[in-house]
Structure 1
Amino acid sequence: MNTQNTPRTNLVVLDMAGTTVADGGLVEQAFSAAAQRLGVEPGTPDHAAKLDYVRATMGESKISVFRHLFGDEAGAQAANKAFEEAYGELVEAGRIAGIPGARDAIERLKEQGRTVVLTTGFARVTQDAILGALGWQDLVPLTLCPADAGGRGRPYPDMVLAAFLRTGAVDDVRQIAVAGDTSYDMLSGVRSGARVVAGVLTGAHDRTQLSAAGATHVLGSVAELPVLLEEEDI
């Protein structure tokens, strides 16, 4: 049961791609398209190495990934712009859907009296395209991308803390639950001080990776989160 020392988690911060949104590998496809536009040819060792890095850093802010891969800021910004354009084209082509049960889970969390925020490592234009494609524009009161939190995405805690500050839903970070599919989501949640940091197995990383990064719980999907919070009286 809850006590004064274990306040109820009334703010839930959910990742998008891989957690609430199924994109069918669009990140890799968009990266390949963007890289080719920048002269990195598919099938080359350079392309393979860069793609491996993209896979290894799923969940991290995309501009941070491109800063690592392309070095100077101009190159990183050009790569990020090409990636966002390629991803947006794939979204417009109908290559995206909600994770089964995700929308119902969000609605149930809201019915439980919790405020839900959706976050992403993509730029705002891409986040809005995804929300539009799914018809989720009015599903939650706040959506955040790295630019909304001072430019730093995961694994920094900034988006979680921005949700804390901007919603005013809770007055203690221990009243926050974070859920995501990557180790970067887990690190972001842990560093924010969130009481619940739930990994889900519908995306990039497995149970071992999520647990190693600090997950307090590992779920089959986000559909299980409302039940977890309700049954454990968290």
Structure 2
Amino acid sequence: MANSHIKTRLVVFDWAGTTIDFGSRAPAAAFAEVFAANGVSVTDSEARGPMGLNKREHLIAMLNDPSIAERWEKRYGRSWTEEDVDRMYDSFVPVQLEAIQRHAGLVPGLLDVVKELRQQGIKIVGTTGYFDAAAHAVLQSACQAGYVPDANICADDVPQGRPAPWMIYRAMEATGVFPASSVIKVGDTVADIQAGVAAGCWSIGVCDSSSLVGLSERQFQSLSTAEQIDRVDQAAEAFRSAGAHATIRSLCDLPGLIQRISNATTAEPHVLDGRAVLA
């Protein structure tokens, strides 16, 4: 049977944890700081739990976590309110912007990957759960470092952020690319994977720099080979459970995966094989 694949024409990247900010430290640090300022301590894992959502929805998801809610009630003698959300979100915005400045470095290998995709005529769009000012800040920093996507879509640009597919559809609209089977969504959170699946495009999880691993590049490289493999495999399994069609250890593996997709026997997105991580 002839290969009926439609050539990949667009890659939709997430920002923090995928193309910048190895380990997605800026959002997690900002949420932890805001909760601490309100007298409620949260763990790094708790701060990362809802990662990928619109940042206001992320804040609400944290407040709804039973353990955090219990600590909140112990601190204030009541449940949280919408007024609390408004106040905390208002304080979160400048904290997040400051954190971005400290964690805006490009993920290793990104520029080489982008160059290879460009040579294949593939469009590139950035999407993010960041609010507009934060999305502008990461774009500005990335452009200065040499990474210039064709468009940048944030949660404020659509009716609902991830896991809804609207940012991916907006990226397709902005670049004039369709159908969805010619689009690859690459992200580092479960919400990224869910959004890609909902959009009907190829949905790929990147592991080593991901929020699920949650380590800086230096911290990750300091692990033993066995520890690195274990952390990467755990992230990959979470992505697979969320519906990912494939996972890659690092962003550098994306061009090879795109070649595998181009050789697939069917155009429609599907799980490529049963392995946790494709290299």
1:114 deviates by 0.8
1:188 deviates by 0.4
Q: 1:103 to 1:78 in 2, by over 3 A?
A: farther
Contact 1:160 1:192 in 2 (8 A): yes
Q: 1:2 to 1:90 in 2, by over 3 A?
A: farther
Q: 1:2 to 1:232 in 2, by over 3 A?
A: farther
- Map Cα deviations across residues 59-112 of structure 1 (whole Å, 9 max, x no partner): 1221111233455444333323322211211233x4331110112212221221
The runs of 5 or more residues in structure 2 that have no matched partner are 64-79, 213-234, 264-279
Is 2:41 aligned against 1:47?
A: yes
Q: Secondary structure at the match of 2:17?
A: coil
Is 2:177 aligned against 1:183?
A: no
1:137 deviates by 8.1
Q: 1:72 to 1:107 in 2, by over 3 A?
A: farther
2:253 to 224, 229, 232: 224
Query: Higher Cα Rg: structure 1 or 2?
Result: 2
Residue correspondence of structure 1 range 85-100 to structure 2 within 5 A:
85-92=94-101, 94-100=102-108
Contact 1:14 1:20 in 2 (8 A): yes
Q: 1:73 to 1:142 in 2, by over 3 A?
A: farther
Whole-angstrom CA distance in 2 between matches of 1:127 and 1:146: 9
Q: Number of residues paired by the alignment?
A: 222
Is 2:116 aligned against 1:108?
A: yes
2:153 to 138, 144, 148: 144
CA RMSD in angstroms comes to 2.3
1:149 deviates by 1.8
Normalised by the size of structure 2, how large is the TM-score? 0.72
Whole-angstrom CA distance in 1 between matches of 2:18 and 2:210: 6
Is 2:89 aligned against 1:75?
A: no
2:199 to 171, 182, 192: 192
Whole-angstrom CA distance in 1 between matches of 2:33 and 2:175: 37
Whole-angstrom CA distance in 2 between matches of 1:35 and 1:137: 35
Q: Secondary structure at the match of 1:107?
A: helix
Whole-angstrom CA distance in 2 between matches of 1:103 and 1:72: 44
Is 2:32 aligned against 1:21?
A: no
Once structures 1 and 2 are overlaid, which stretch shifts more, 214-223 or 75-84?
Answer: 75-84
- Map Cα deviations across residues 19-70 of structure 1 (whole Å, 9 max, x no partner): 1112552222211222244x2x2xxxx4337x65432111122111123345
1:187 deviates by 0.4
Whole-angstrom CA distance in 2 between matches of 1:161 and 1:228: 22
Whole-angstrom CA distance in 1 between matches of 2:2 and 2:138: 36
1:132 to 120, 133, 140: 140
Contact 1:12 1:114 in 2 (8 A): yes
